C-alpha cells in the first residue's frame, strides 16, 4: 500500500503534463543593459514588453515590465506567445545617437561570457529605442543586449531685465529635425520649471546641439499666451544660439533674461464662415521672413476672446507677439458641413498693439485630375496628398483619392498651401505632374495659383539601385546611412529623395526601387539626422564626395559608395 501511495501522485503529475498543449506554455526572455561604448552595466532600467495587436483587448493589455538589477541583468517570465514591442528606459539616460557604431569584439565576447550565450542579440541600429520580438510557445530567449547613453545636462539661471530671478518659468530643450529640407525645432526631452532662485537643470539629453526655450506667463493667474524667449535672450528663434551637450557632462552657464511682459497684442475679426456660439477658430502665427529655423511649439496661438458675443462676431485677440514680420492664419473646421475654412493676413507688429486686423476665410475647394501611363493609357490607382509647406499642414489635409477607370479623380478639401502627390502603388513611379501645360512636380501645386485639373503621368519602367558601402580600405561597411539625392535643379522636390537602410537579417542594404529616370547622387554617411540630406546647407558639406549616377528606364544598377565619416 505504501508503494501505491508514492506512485499514484507521480502518475497523476505525468498525465497532467501530457495534457498540456504547447501553445498553453508561456515563454521567457532575459538579457542585459549596458552603457554604449563600454561593457558597464546599468541598473534600474525599466524593461517594458507591450503586446502588438492583442486579440480581445485594447493595445497595451497584458503589458509586462521589470527592472535591471545591479549587474544590469533582467529576466521576464510567463510571457504569452505573440508579438511584442520591447523598450528600455531610465531617467537621465537616452538611446545612443544615430550612427553609433556596433560594440567592439572584446565587448561582445565579454557579454557572451556574462550571459552564457553563443550569440548576443542587439538592436539594429544601436540608436533604436525599441525592438519587435516574436515569442513562440515555450520559447526561452536569452542574450539580449540593449544600450543606453548617460545623458548630458544644460543648466543655467533665468532672470528678468533687472537681474532678478524668475521662478516657475517653463524651460524646454529643443533639437533640430529636418522636415522636407527645413530645420524645425522639436522637444528633445522633458520640460522643467525654474526654481525660486531662477535656476533650472535640463538633464538626460543625448549628445548633440540643443536650443533652450523659456516660457513665462505675465502673472501666475493669467491663462493667456506666455512670453517666449530663446537662449541667449532673443525672441526670434532664427537668432537663437545652440548649446553643445556631450555625453555624461554638464553645459553650465546657460543664463539669460526674459521680459516680465513680452510682445504686443493683435486684435481683429475673422469672417467668411458661419459664425456661431459653437464656432471655434484656430490661429497660427508663422514667421514671414526666410525659414532658417522654425519652432513648431510656438506656431499655434490661443484666441483670448472666447465669450459668446466674441464667437458670434468672430473677434480675436492674440497676445505676447514679439516685434517682427508674420503671417497670421485662421482655420475653422465646420463639422456639420464637413468643410475646412482658412484665411491669412500679413502682420508687422512693432512696439504698439495692432488693431482692426481683418482675416477673410475661404472654404477648401475640390481639384480635379487624371492619371495616365506614359503612353497615355488611363490608370486606376490611389494617390495621397503631401503637405509641402506649413500652411498646407495646418488643417486636415485633403488626404487622397482613387482614380476611376478612365483615370480621372477628384481631390477634396484642398485649402491654402502647397502640395505634392504620391502613389500607393509599389510597382510604379511618377514621371511628372502637370497643370496649365507646365510641370508642378518639383515645386508642388497650390489651389491659390490655379484650380485647373492636374495631369499625373506615371511609369512602370522605373529604376532600381542596389548599394554597397566601402571604407577607405575597401572593406564593406554595415549600418551606414545611404541617401539618394536628385540633381541640384530638382532638390526642391522631396519625393525624389530616398534612403537605403541596412538590413541586418539579409546582410545588405535595402534596394532603392521605383526611381524615376534622371540624374542623381548617392551618399553614404556614418551619421546623418533624419531627412538632413534635403537641407542644402547640410548637404553642401559633402557635395563633392557623392557618387553621380544616371537612372534610365528599367535600369538595375549596383553601385559601390565610399563611406563619408562626418566626424572628420
Distance between terminal CA atoms of the chain?
A: 84
Q: What is the mean pLDDT of the chain?
A: 86
Instruction: Quote the CA–CA distance of 36 and 489 in Å, as a whole number.
Output: 41
| Parallel/antiparallel/unpaired status of strands 27-35 and 73-79 | antiparallel
Pick the more confident residue, 267 or 92.
267
Band the pLDDT of 94: cuts 50, 70, 90. Answer: confident
With b meaning 16 or more CB within 10 Å and e meaning fewer, what string describes 531-544? bbbbbeebbeebee
pLDDT of residue 24: 57
Taking a C-beta distance cutoff of 8 angstroms, is the pair 158, 169 a contact?
yes
Band the pLDDT of 92: cuts 50, 70, 90. Answer: confident
pLDDT of residue 387: 87
| The pLDDT of residue 493 is above 90 | yes
pLDDT digits (tens, 9 = 90+) for 154-194: 999 999 888 999 999 999 999 988 877 778 899 987 789 99
| Parallel/antiparallel/unpaired status of strands 152-159 and 256-257 | parallel
Average confidence (pLDDT) over 538-545: 93
pLDDT of residue 371: 96
pLDDT of residue 264: 87
| The pLDDT of residue 84 is above 70 | yes
pLDDT of residue 160: 87
Taking a C-beta distance cutoff of 8 angstroms, is the pair 551, 515 a contact?
yes
Pick the more confident residue, 61 or 486.
486
With b meaning 16 or more CB within 10 Å and e meaning fewer, what string describes 159-185? beeeeeebeebbbbbbbbbbbbbbbbb
> 503 in helix, strand or coil?
strand
Give 386's strand partners: 420
| The pLDDT of residue 239 is above 70 | yes
Average confidence (pLDDT) over 488-511: 88
pLDDT of residue 228: 85
> 488 in helix, strand or coil?
helix
| The pLDDT of residue 3 is above 90 | no
Q: What is the DSSP string of 184-236?
A: EEEE-S--EE--TTSEEEEEEEPSEEEEEEEEE-SSTT--SPPEEEETTTBSS
Pick the more confident residue, 236 or 567.
236
Band the pLDDT of 218: cuts 50, 70, 90. Answer: low
pLDDT of residue 397: 65
Burial class (CB in 10 A: 0-12, 13-18, 19+), 338: exposed
Tell me which of 36-40, 47-51, 405-409, 467-471 is least confident: 36-40
> Cβ atoms within 10 A of the Cβ of 547, count?
14
pLDDT digits (tens, 9 = 90+) for 387-397: 888 888 887 66
pLDDT of residue 336: 81
| The pLDDT of residue 443 is above 50 | yes
Taking a C-beta distance cutoff of 8 angstroms, is the pair 117, 143 a contact?
yes
Pick the more confident residue, 529 or 372.
372
Per this entry, what is the length of the chain? Answer: 568
Residue 51 has phi, psi (to 5 degrees) of: -60, 140
pLDDT of residue 32: 94
pLDDT of residue 227: 81
| The pLDDT of residue 365 is above 80 | yes
Pick the more confident residue, 255 or 98.
255
User: Residue 539 belongs to what H/E stretch?
Assistant: helix 536-539
Q: What is the DSSP string of 45-94?
A: -EEEEEESS-TTS-TTTT-EEEE--TTSEEEEEEEPSEEEEEEEE-TTEE
Four-residue CA torsion sign, 385, 386, 387, 388:
negative
Local structure of residue 100 (DSSP, 8 states): P
Q: What is the DSSP string of 337-369?
A: TTEEEEEEEEE---SS-EEEEEEE-EE-EEEEE
- What are 374's three cell numbers? 506614359
- Report how far Cα 492 is from the mean position of its chain's Cα atoms: 20
| The pLDDT of residue 345 is above 70 | yes
How far is the CA of 182 from the CAs of 389, 452, 471, in angstroms?
A: 9, 29, 30
| The pLDDT of residue 446 is above 60 | yes
pLDDT digits (tens, 9 = 90+) for 130-146: 888 889 898 999 999 99
Amino acid at each position: 500500500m505504501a508503494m501505491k501511495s508514492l506512485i499514484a501522485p507521480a502518475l497523476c503529475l505525468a498525465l497532467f503534463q501530457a495534457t498540456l498543449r504547447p501553445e498553453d506554455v508561456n515563454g521567457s526572455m532575459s538579457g542585459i543593459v549596458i552603457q554604449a561604448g563600454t561593457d558597464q552595466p546599468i541598473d534600474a532600467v525599466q524593461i517594458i514588453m507591450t503586446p502588438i495587436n492583442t486579440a480581445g483587448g485594447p493595445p497595451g493589455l497584458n503589458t509586462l515590465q521589470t527592472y535591471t538589477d545591479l549587474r544590469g541583468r533582467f529576466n521576464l517570465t510567463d510571457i504569452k506567445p505573440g508579438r511584442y514591442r520591447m523598450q528600455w528606459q531610465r531617467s537621465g539616460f537616452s538611446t545612443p545617437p544615430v550612427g553609433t557604431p556596433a560594440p567592439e569584439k572584446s565587448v561582445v565576447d565579454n557579454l557572451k561570457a556574462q550571459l552564457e550565450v553563443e550569440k548576443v542579440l542587439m538592436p539594429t541600429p544601436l540608436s533604436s529605442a525599441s525592438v519587435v520580438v516574436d515569442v513562440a510557445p515555450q520559447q526561452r530567449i536569452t542574450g539580449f543586449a540593449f544600450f543606453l547613453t548617460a545623458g548630458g545636462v544644460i543648466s543655467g539661471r533665468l532672470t528678468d531685465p533687472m537681474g532678478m530671478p524668475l521662478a516657475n518659468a517653463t524651460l524646454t530643450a529643443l533639437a533640430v529635425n529636418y522636415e522636407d529640407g527645413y530645420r524645425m525645432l522639436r522637444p528633445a526631452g522633458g520640460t522643467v520649471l525654474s526654481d525660486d532662485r531662477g535656476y533650472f537643470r535640463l538633464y538626460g539629453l543625448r549628445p548633440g546641439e540643443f536650443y533652450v526655450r523659456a516660457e513665462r506667463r505675465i502673472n501666475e493667474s493669467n491663462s493667456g499666451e506666455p512670453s517666449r524667449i530663446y537662449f541667449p535672450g532673443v525672441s526670434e528663434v532664427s537668432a537663437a544660439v545652440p548649446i553643445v551637450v556631450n555625453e555624461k557632462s554638464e553645459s553650465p552657464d546657460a543664463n539669460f533674461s526674459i521680459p516680465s511682459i513680452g510682445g504686443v497684442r493683435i486684435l481683429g475679426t475673422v469672417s467668411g464662415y458661419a459664425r456661431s456660439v459653437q464656432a471655434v477658430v484656430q490661429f497660427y502665427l508663422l514667421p514671414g521672413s526666410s525659414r532658417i529655423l522654425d519652432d513648431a511649439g510656438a506656431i499655434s496661438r490661443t484666441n483670448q476672446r472666447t465669450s459668446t458675443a466674441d464667437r458670434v462676431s468672430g473677434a480675436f485677440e492674440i497676445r505676447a507677439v514679439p516685434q517682427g514680420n508674420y503671417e497670421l492664419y485662421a482655420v475653422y473646421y465646420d463639422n456639420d458641413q464637413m468643410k475646412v475654412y482658412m484665411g491669412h493676413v500679413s502682420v508687422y507688429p512693432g512696439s504698439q498693439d495692432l488693431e482692426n486686423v481683418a482675416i477673410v476665410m475661404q472654404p477648401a475647394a475640390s481639384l480635379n485630375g487624371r492619371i495616365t501611363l506614359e503612353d497615355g493609357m488611363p490608370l486606376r490607382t490611389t494617390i495621397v496628398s503631401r503637405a509641402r509647406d506649413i500652411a498646407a499642414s495646418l488643417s486636415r489635409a485633403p488626404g487622397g483619392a482613387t482614380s476611376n477607370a478612365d483615370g480621372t479623380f477628384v481631390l477634396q478639401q484642398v485649402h491654402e498651401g502647397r502640395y505634392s502627390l504620391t502613389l500607393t502603388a509599389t510597382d510604379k513611379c511618377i514621371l511628372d505632374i502637370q497643370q496649365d501645360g507646365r510641370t508642378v512636380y518639383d515645386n508642388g501645386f497650390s489651389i491659390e495659383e490655379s484650380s485647373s485639373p492636374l495631369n499625373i503621368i506615371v511609369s512602370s519602367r522605373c529604376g532600381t539601385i542596389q548599394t554597397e558601402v566601402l571604407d577607405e580600405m575597401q572593406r564593406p561597411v554595415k549600418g551606414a546611412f545611404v541617401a539618394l539625392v536628385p540633381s541640384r535643379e530638382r532638390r526642391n522636390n522631396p519625393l525624389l529623395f530616398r534612403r537605403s537602410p541596412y538590413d541586418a537579417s539579409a546582410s545588405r542594404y535595402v534596394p532603392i526601387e521605383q526611381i524615376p529616370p534622371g540624374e542623381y547622387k548617392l551618399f553614404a554617411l556614418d551619421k546623418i539626422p533624419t531627412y538632413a540630406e534635403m537641407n542644402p546647407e547640410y548637404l553642401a558639406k559633402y557635395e563633392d564626395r557623392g557618387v553621380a549616377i544616371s537612372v534610365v528606364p528599367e535600369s538595375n544598377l549596383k553601385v559601390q559608395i565610399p563611406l563619408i565619416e562626418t566626424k572628420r
